[in-house]
Amino acid sequence: MITFESLGLDKPLLDAISDLGFETPSEVQEKSIPLLLQEDTDLVALAQTGTGKTAAFGFPMIQKIHSESRTTQGLILSPTRELCLQITNELKLYSKYIKGLNTVAIYGGASITEQARQIKRGAQIVVATPGRMKDMIGRGMVDISKIDYCVLDEADEMLNMGFYEDIKDILSNTPQEKFTWLFSATMPKEVASIAKKFMHKPKEITVGTKNAGATTVQHEYYVVGGRDRYPALKRLADANPGIFSVVFCRTKRDTQRVAEKLIEDGYNAGALHGDLSQNQRDLVMNAFRKKQVQMLVATDVAARGIDVDDITHVINYQLPDEIETYTHRSGRTGRAGKSGISMVIVTRSELRKIKAIENKIKQDFISKKIPTGIEICEIQLYHLASRIKETQINPEIDHYLPAINDVLDGIDRDELIKKIVSVEFTRFYNYYSKTRDLNTQESGRERDKKGASKGGVPSEGSVRYFINIGERDGYDWMSLKDFLRDTLNLEKEDIFNVDTKDSFSFFNTDAQLSQFVLQTFTDFKVKGRFINVEVSTNPGGGKKSKKRDRKRGHRKGGDNRSFRGGRKGNSGKRGGKKRPGFF
Ligand code: ADP
Ligand code: MG
């Protein structure tokens, strides 16, 4: 096993790395750290978001810099203020055991004189956004004429954002004999031409598309009619209680509009886009970090700075124009070793874009169905039951118990449970029982057999199961699938459509396996706990129970789109209060 020690890093860095809890180097770190430590060379490194690029250039830069000199020796350019701050914070953590090493962040929207003051105190490493950097060079507030190392981080994004001229200007103020390290998720021709123009025989590193960041993300698409994007988004959120997501829109206007509608409908949502003031953006981001905002609706540019590791879902409300942008979006989830799901809401005419993205990311999409109203009700019902189970009893209730007992006198346990659950369930049921199917038939692009079964396009003879373990028990869709495969001794393809929720999950097998599956999980215990598997009425796999057929009748009559507040007053936390501070 490769260790950080074996890459040639010194003790102060190794101690900091161990404090950070990094155990083994990521692929891009493994490839670039020894190279940059041993050789003075230019470097082009291609690696997806979330693969640990900051440390890949940060560790060698910190080790090579002379902390006893106060001269600015390293410059890191990054596209946004948020990334700039994120890199600065990381570098400070990396260098915490190196006395006298100062890293200073330079970015727009904050006091320039304060930043100049920090530089003046001595900053061996400067992390900057191009605009503010140019400004400060122009005013003689920063001297980069003696730097040894220059990093262009997220180079593709800086060029996307139109920083080419600024970068050129900035580089013209740096010495010829320095080393330039360029990091990028993608290699469009603009990046190639920068490399050609400003770098000398750069070494190249490409982290295979099969890096940890890429394979932990499952890509799914949902085909709907153009006008059903919003109702589809709501259903995806409702079918995933506990969702913590970024919802991408193409324009600032759509971003604002979708966020406002979600808030109006009682979701914990917020908007992040360039028309908001820095202060407003900070507020939203803080609320998101604290998970007070569960659905952050964002433009691509604004979302570049999102440094949150445990995002469960990325939702593409609309597909981006550039395929590369999709890579950036989906890279917001599945970070730091966790798995994630990137969902795309598409219309039939956009399906060819899915194919193009598949080619680019070298990963297949799974075709999925927008859950029906009844499926959502079922998911919410299980979720509610498990929430009741997990709820800490408030001791204050003891005082009121005699009175409450009087009120509830004569109701037996079964009836009481039904009533408690109905308090919330009825709200969803009333809303969803009359809604229609939002899925558009995917003619013209039938998925191959494998894709279809994987993706839960309900194949005739498949059965969907409910299982009482989920994310809270440490499972994600991949590890649950592994667990089921091992327990049932089946092939990977035999188990499909695995959907983990907080405290329970769903999966499918072919119908002929159902007896075997149910038998295996009869009186099945792991570590003293019963693992319970039942056939679900949730028809992801085409099981038709009488109950469902009956309910299906209710659904005719169209989506009641004027309904507002499907979740309003759901619970105090979820109440449909506006958050005026964000807008
Ligand atoms: P990138 O710049 O490639 O998008 P980052 O450098 O921001 O990725 O790293 C993503 C996350 O992974 C950060 O939270 C970082 O602290 C963490 N990380 C980086 N390297 C490692 C490692 N070797 N082991 C564990 N976590 C790591
Ligand atoms: Mg980065």
Domains along the sequence of the chain with CATH: 5-206 (3.40.50.300), 217-373 (3.40.50.300), 444-552 (3.30.70.330)
The atom number, within ligand 1, closest to the CA of 26 reads 23
The three-class DSSP label of residue 221 is strand
Highest mean pLDDT among 52-66, 328-342, 344-358, 423-437: 52-66
More confidently predicted of 286 and 570 = 286
Please tell me the predicted confidence (pLDDT) of residue 333: 85
Distances (CA, A) of 324 to 330, 430, 452: 10, 42, 26
Ligand showing the shortest atom-to-Cα distance for residue 58: 1
For the CA of 20, the nearest atom of ligand 1: 16
At 76 the pLDDT is 98
Of 6, 22, 57, the one to substitute when testing ligand 1's pocket (max ligand atoms within 8 A of C-beta) is: 22
pLDDT over 80 (residue 242): yes
CA-proximal residue: ligand 1, atom 5 (nearest): 52
Query: Which of the residue ranges 97-101, 136-140, 449-453, 471-475 would you say has the lowest mean pLDDT?
Result: 449-453
Ligand 1 closest atom vs CA 154: 2
Q: Residue 336's pLDDT is what?
A: 63
Give 540's pLDDT tier (boundaries 50, 70, 90).
low
CA distance 184 to 168: 17
d(CA 152, CA 444): 43
Q: Please write the tens of the pLDDT for every residue from 366-411.
A: 999 999 888 888 888 888 888 888 888 888 889 898 998 888 888 9
Q: Is the pLDDT of residue 581 over 80?
A: no
Helices (H), 173-303: 189-198, 212-215, 229-238, 252-264, 278-289, 300-303
**Position 579 pLDDT exceeds 70:** no
| CB-based burial, 71-80: b 16+ in 10 Å, e otherwise | ebbbbbbbbb
The per-residue pLDDT for range 170-184, each reduced to its tens digit, is 999 999 999 999 999
Query: Which has more confidence, 149 or 540?
Result: 149
pLDDT(573) > 70: no
Residue nearest to atom 20 of ligand 1 (CA): 52
Ligand 1: centre distance to CA 286 (Å):
20
Q: How many helices (H) and strands (E) does the chain have?
A: 23, 20
Average pLDDT over residues 307-331: 88
The stretch 345-352 carries a mean pLDDT of: 88
Residue-averaged pLDDT of the chain: 83
Residues 6+ apart with CB under 8 A from 172: none
Q: Give me ligand 2 centre to Cα 83, in Å.
A: 7
Contact 59, 92 (CB under 8 A): no
| pLDDT of res. 527 | 77
The residue with greater pLDDT, 572 or 240, is 240
User: Model-level pTM?
Assistant: 0.48
| In the predicted structure, residue 360 carries a pLDDT above the cut 80 | yes
Tokens, residue 490: 């089946």
CA-307 nearest atom, ligand 1? 7
Going by C-beta distance under 8 Å and a sequence separation of 6 or more, which residues neighbour residue 530?
468, 523, 524
Beta strands (DSSP E) in 328-420 are 340-346, 366-368
The closest residue, in CA terms, to atom 19 on ligand 1 is 52
pLDDT digits (tens, 9 = 90+) for 19-32: 999 989 999 999 99
Looking at residues 218-235, what average pLDDT do you find? 91
Percent of the chain with pLDDT over 70: 87
Nearest CA to ligand 1 atom 12: 336
Length of the chain: 583
pLDDT grade for 42, boundaries at 50, 70 and 90: very high
Greater confidence (227 vs 288) lies with: 288
Calculate how far, in angstroms, residue 516's C-alpha sits from the geometric centre of ligand 1: 42
- State the distance from the centre of ligand 2 to the C-alpha of 179, rounded, in angstroms: 19
Which residues are CB-neighbours of 114 under 8 A, at least 6 positions away? none
Q: What is the pLDDT of residues 56-79, one digit of tens each?
A: 999 999 999 999 999 999 999 999
CA-nearest residue for atom 24, ligand 1, is 22
* Closest ligand, as measured to the CA of 212: 1
* Closest atom, ligand 1, to C-alpha of 25: 23
Instruction: Say yes or no to pLDDT of 6 above 70.
Output: yes
CA 18–ligand 1 middle distance (angstroms)? 14
Tell me which of 304, 333, 335 to substitute to probe ligand 1's pocket, judged by most ligand atoms within 8 Å of the beta carbon: 335
Report the pocket of ligand 1 as residue ranges, CB < 6 Å. Answer: 22, 25-26, 29, 47, 49-55, 309, 335-336
| Confidence at residue 58, expressed as pLDDT on a 0 to 100 scale | 98
pLDDT at 570 over 60: no
451 compared with 137, residue with greater pLDDT: 137
Question: Would you place residue 551 in the very low, low, confident or very high pLDDT band (cuts 50, 70, 90)?
Answer: very low
Nearest atom in ligand 1 to 331's CA: 4
More confident residue, 335 or 330: 330
Nearest C-alpha to atom 15 of ligand 1 is from which residue? Answer: 52
